[in-house]
């Protein structure tokens, strides 16, 4: 397989781009060449930035230009990357720093809810506010480029170690929330970085090691556009300033030297005017990456630096390409890059970046991503303060140490690439649960630094003090004693995930056993799962004594307080699952990361399932999930009525990705949602569309509305031309096909309340 792929790839390299960009079986797994690299145009919202940048870059010598395309170590700050500077022109360079859920590895910042939690909130406004206040923290710390949000991985495999960093496995939901985050960051004055472009769907074999190349993510052109590149399209449309190319190979060409991806999709199709930065140490060629559209290398000089200067001098890389790299950086003045990002172990002035106005946003965000999946006999909220509660499980309290990298809670830290390349995932074992304490974030690059952690036990104890509730706890026993007078037993477990490793399963025996042991003795057992990804519940969800279950995801620093508000009914549940929660591992296709055999030096990951992942696959196969995509209970109930569909200009047409018309609103859909229960609550109304020759349903709209009892309000969905289109691989255009379409509006992907058929 290896030999034929390699030789086929070589032949294709000689074909003209127009021919080689066709996708058919013969081209599967090959990345066609797209050259030369388009110059940034600086149009639209970019015009001002480009004028400034060009003025500055025009004055730079070749050496100066080359110098700012690469990273340097700094003794002044701990930024993940520092670009070169041009002191002669008073340009200070840039600090680039992680990550998508808050400023990492520093002090005096906030830990916001993580991506998966934000996805579960389905709340555009909260997502924008989070993006804004987080962006302000980056800016106030002197971080020019915030290395988030993350839409790659999307979540092809439920075991993916970094799925929690992103918002959802659904490209529409991910794209909407990515756009809100980007606008929020950039309104606050930090440049956003949308990553990892593209196909970084697993941690296993994500990078080359010891002669084994990184796995090649083999994605066909249709799947690329309709699934994996979709949220990146939203990000570019939202004006993202930078994009990070990915570690993996894509169709057998490394992400950071892949001309089809950077010159082709980003810079030609989407007219992306910002810069592409390589993931850290993810550059594998000098001339090749420059010509393929890479604009910055991190954390050091990679294959550039003096070599890039030499490549320009000997004619291998045009100087205009290097100028284009530099023109793409936003050169607007920033204070000293990284001034608030000092080495924490040395004496330093702690720059407090926390805006008091962010406080309610952080708490609301923490509340909004909790998903209630079981609530027998309305056990929640507590009707009156319980006289006695009992608390169990390692996840109820803070870890013994608060340090800058939550990964150490796992008590396991090896170089993941080394272990995985040599041993494969099976060789890497760590506990699926972080038993050292409650988790409010996942691990590594996107882990954030909490100002404090308000943990469940402390928050419940504070509340108990107000109500004179008696609290028992045992956070270590596997089979704890239960005081027979307990009115409620709360069991806290978690599912940890981190960059660098894929997870080894979706549940663990210890945690499941603990739930069952408590449930055997306590008739009102409430399970709370902090989850950095999908966590199965079938081992105990039907147990009659498990009365309620909360998927608490990764709430950030206000975790305990948010939970207490929900348990006591001071806030309602409004979160819905941004993924499918299956009954069994084997219900997911694919489930495992792809791996290598011992003599395979060019591992291949064929994404043969195409666009059929998560609910698209469950629907197509008619597999019953435990809890479907978009599902979540509330303390109240909602009725849907009065669907109206107002269609304009919806005819069979084609459109290029970069055409403005692709964003035209071609259908306005409205429905009425009524709160039919007795308490206030917020509902996430969802719109799914059945498109011919596509999965049975695809999310194409959502609207969250807060309602008092008996109150009604409209929910509205604006569908664009892209929302009705499929990607046509022959014409390389978005196409609205002739045929029958169905619009579904409902409370989840399987709780459809209103339907409208449409013929185009």
Catalytic (active-site) positions: 279
Nearer to ligand BGC, 207 or 733 (CB): 207
**Residue among 159 and 398 whose Cβ is closer to ligand BGC:** 159
Radius of gyration from C-alpha coordinates of the chain: 25
The least CB distance from residue 73 to ligand BGC, in Å, is: 13
State CA 362 to chain mean position distance.
Answer: 18
- Report in angstroms how near the CB of residue 501 gets to ligand BGC at its nearest: 13
83, β-bridge pairs = 71
Q: Taking the alpha carbons of 632, 635, 639, 640 in that order, is the dihedral positive or negative?
A: negative
Shortest distance (Å) from residue 589 CB to ligand BGC: 26
Least distance from ligand BGC to the Cβ atom of residue 279, Å: 5
Shortest separation between residue 417's beta carbon and ligand BGC, angstroms:
10
Q: How far is the CB of 147 from ligand BGC (least distance, A)?
A: 4
Q: Which is nearer to ligand BGC, 378 or 415 (CB)?
A: 415
Beta strand 81-83 with 71-72 is antiparallel
Question: CA of 39: how far to CAs of 32, 392, 749, in Å?
Answer: 20, 59, 42
Q: For ligand BGC, which is the closer residue by CB, 71 or 632? A: 71
Site for ligand BGC in 624-663 (CB under 6 A): none
Least CB distance to ligand BGC at residue 162 (A): 8
- In this chain, which of 439, 445, 488, 519 binds ligand BGC, going by CB under 6 A? 445
Nearer to ligand BGC, 165 or 273 (CB): 165
Give the full edge-to-edge strand order of the sheet including 546-551. 371-375, 546-551, 525-531, 488-495, 388-392, 470-474
The least CB distance from residue 566 to ligand BGC, in Å, is 32
What tokens were used for 46? 């970019």
Q: 38 by DSSP, 3-state: which?
A: coil
Q: Cα–Cα distance between 408 and 496 in angstroms, integer?
A: 12
Closer residue to ligand BGC in complex, CB, 161/340: 161
The residues that bridge with 546 in the sheet, in sequence order, are: 525
Three-state SS string over 584-653 comes to CHHHCCCCCCCCCCCCCCCCEEECCCCCCCCHHHHHHHCCCCCECCCCCECCCCEEEEEEEEEECCCCCC
| Of the residues 27, 50, 232, 280, which one makes contact with ligand BGC according to CB under 6 A | 280
* Burial class of residue 710 in the structure, from the number of CB atoms within 10 Å of its CB (0-12 exposed, 13-18 middle, 19+ buried): exposed
- Of the two residues 11 and 343, which places its CB atom closer to ligand BGC in the complex? 343
Nearest to 571 by CA among 482, 680, 657: 680
Which of 617, 726, 730, 715 shows the shortest CA–CA distance to 674?
715
Q: How far apart are CA 31 and CA 262, in angstroms?
A: 11
Q: Does 203 bind ligand BGC (CB under 6 A)?
A: no
Peptide bond into 196 cis (omega under 30): yes
Comparing CB distances to ligand BGC, the nearer of 57 and 147 is 147
Q: How many residues bind ligand BGC (CB under 6 A)?
A: 8
Q: How many residues does the chain have?
A: 760
Taking the least distance from each CB to ligand BGC, the nearer of 198 and 526 is 198
Name 18's Cβ contacts closer than 8 Å, sequence gap at least 6.
none
- Give the footprint of ligand BGC on residues 58-117 (CB under 6 A): 80, 98-99
Contacts to ligand BGC from residues 675-734, by CB under 6 A: none
The residue (of 342 and 463) whose beta carbon lies closer to ligand BGC is 342
Applying CB under 6 A, among 220, 279, 455, 723 the residue interacting with ligand BGC is 279
Window 336-355: contact mask with ligand BGC (x via CB under 6 A): --------------------
Contact pattern for ligand BGC over residues 389 through 428, marking x by CB under 6 A: ----------------------------------------
Q: What letter would DSSP give residue 410?
A: G
Q: Minimum CB separation from ligand BGC for residue 697, in Å?
A: 32
Q: Least distance in Å: CB of 192 to ligand BGC? A: 12
| C-alpha distances out from residue 448 to 260, 435, 457, 458, 542, Å | 34, 19, 21, 21, 35
Residue 453 neighbours by CB distance under 10 Å: 24
| HEC sequence for 424-480 | CHHHCCCCCCCCCCCCCCCEHHHCCCCCCCCCHHHHHHHHHHHHCCEEEEECCCCCC
Question: Which residues between 137 and 166 bind ligand BGC (CB under 6 A)?
Answer: 147
Q: How far apart (Å, rounded) are the C-alpha atoms in residues 511 and 533? A: 16
Q: Does 195 bind ligand BGC (CB under 6 A)?
A: yes
Q: Which residues bind ligand BGC (CB under 6 A)?
A: 80, 98-99, 147, 195, 279-280, 445
């Amino acid at each position: 397989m290896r030999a034929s792929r390699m030789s086929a790839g070589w032949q294709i390299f000689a074909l003209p781009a127009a021919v080689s960009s066709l996708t058919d079986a013969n081209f599967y797994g090959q990345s066609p060449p797209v050259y030369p690299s388009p110059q940034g145009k600086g149009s639209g919202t970019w015009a001002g930035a480009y004028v400034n940048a060009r003025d500055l870059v025009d004055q730079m010598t070749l050496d100066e230009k080359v110098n700012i395309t690469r990273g340097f170590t700094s003794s002044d700050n701990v930024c993940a990357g520092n670009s070169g500077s041009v002191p002669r022109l008073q340009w200070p360079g840039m600090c680039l720093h992680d990550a998508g859920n808050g400023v990492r590895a520093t002090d005096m910042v906030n830990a916001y809810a993580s991506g998966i939690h934000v996805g579960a909130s389905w709340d555009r406004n909260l997502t924008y506010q989070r993006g804004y206040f987080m962006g302000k923290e980056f800016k106030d710390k002197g971080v020019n480029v915030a290395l988030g949000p993350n839409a790659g991985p999307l979540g092809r495999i439920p075991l993916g170690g970094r799925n929690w960093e992103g918002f959802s496995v659904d490209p529409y939901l991910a794209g909407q929330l990515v756009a809100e985050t980007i606008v929020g960051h950039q309104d606050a004055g930090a440049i956003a970085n949308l990553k990892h472009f593209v196909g970084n769907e697993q941690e296993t074999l994500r990078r080359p090691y010891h002669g084994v190349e990184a796995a090649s993510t083999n994605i066909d052109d249709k799947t690329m556009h309709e699934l994996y590149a979709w949220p990146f399209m939203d990000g570019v449309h939202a004006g993202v300033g930078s994009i990070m190319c990915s570690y993996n190979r894509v169709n057998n060409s490394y992400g950071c030297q892949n001309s089809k991806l950077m010159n082709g999709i980003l810079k030609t199709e989407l007219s992306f005017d910002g810069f592409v930065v390589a993931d850290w140490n993810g550059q594998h060629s000098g001339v090749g990456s420059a010509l393929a559209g890479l604009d910055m290398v991190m954390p050091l000089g990679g294959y550039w630096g003096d070599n890039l200067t030499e490549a320009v001098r000997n004619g291998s890389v045009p100087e205009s390409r290097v100028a284009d790299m530099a023109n793409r950086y936003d050169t607007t003045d920033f204070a000293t890059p990284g001034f608030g990002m000092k080495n924490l172990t040395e004496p330093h002035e702690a720059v407090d970046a926390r805006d008091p106005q962010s406080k309610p946003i952080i708490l609301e965000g923490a509340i909004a991503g909790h998903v209630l999946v079981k609530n027998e006999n309305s056990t929640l909220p507590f009707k009156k303060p319980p006289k006695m509660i009992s608390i169990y499980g390692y996840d109820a309290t803070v870890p013994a140490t608060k340090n800058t990298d939550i990964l150490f809670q796992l008590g396991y830290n090896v170089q993941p690439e080394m272990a995985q390349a040599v041993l494969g995932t099976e060789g890497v074992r760590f506990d699926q649960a972080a038993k050292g304490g409650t988790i409010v974030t996942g691990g590594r690059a996107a882990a954030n630094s909490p100002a404090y952690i308000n943990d469940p036990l402390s928050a419940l104890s504070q509340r108990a003090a107000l109500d004179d509730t008696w609290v028992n706890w045992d956070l270590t026993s596997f089979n704890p004693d239960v005081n027979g007078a307990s009115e409620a037993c709360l069991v806290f477990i978690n599912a940890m995930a981190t960059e660098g490793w894929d997870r080894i399963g979706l549940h663990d025996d210890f945690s499941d056993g603990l739930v069952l042991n408590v449930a055997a003795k306590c008739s009102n057992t409430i399970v709370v799962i902090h989850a950095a990804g999908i966590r199965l519940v079938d081992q105990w969800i039907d147990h009659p004594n498990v009365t309620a279950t909360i998927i608490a995801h990764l709430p950030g620093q206000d975790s305990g307080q948010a939970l207490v508000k929900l348990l006591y009914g001071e806030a309602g549940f409004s979160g819905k699952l941004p993924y499918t929660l299956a009954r069994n591992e084997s219900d997911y296709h694919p489930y495992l990361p792809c791996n290598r055999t011992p003599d395979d030096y060019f591992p291949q990951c064929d994404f043969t399932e195409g666009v059929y992942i998560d609910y698209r696959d469950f629907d197509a196969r008619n597999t019953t999930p435990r809890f479907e995509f978009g599902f979540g209970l509330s303390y109240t109930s909602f009725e849907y009525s009065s669907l109206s569909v107002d269609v304009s200009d919806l005819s069979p047409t084609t459109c290029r990705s970069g055409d403005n018309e692709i964003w035209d609103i071609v259908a306005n859909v409205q429905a009425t949602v009524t709160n039919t229960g007795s308490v206030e609550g917020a509902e996430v109304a969802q719109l799914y569309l059945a498109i011919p020759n596509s999965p049975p349903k695809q999310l194409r709209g959502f609207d969250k509305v807060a309602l008092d009892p008996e109150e009604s309000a409209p929910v509205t969905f604006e569908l664009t031309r892209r929302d009705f289109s499929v990607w046509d691989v022959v014409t390389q255009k978005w196409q609205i096909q002739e045929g029958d379409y169905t619009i579904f509006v409902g409370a989840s992907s399987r709780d459809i309340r209103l339907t409208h058929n449409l013929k185009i």
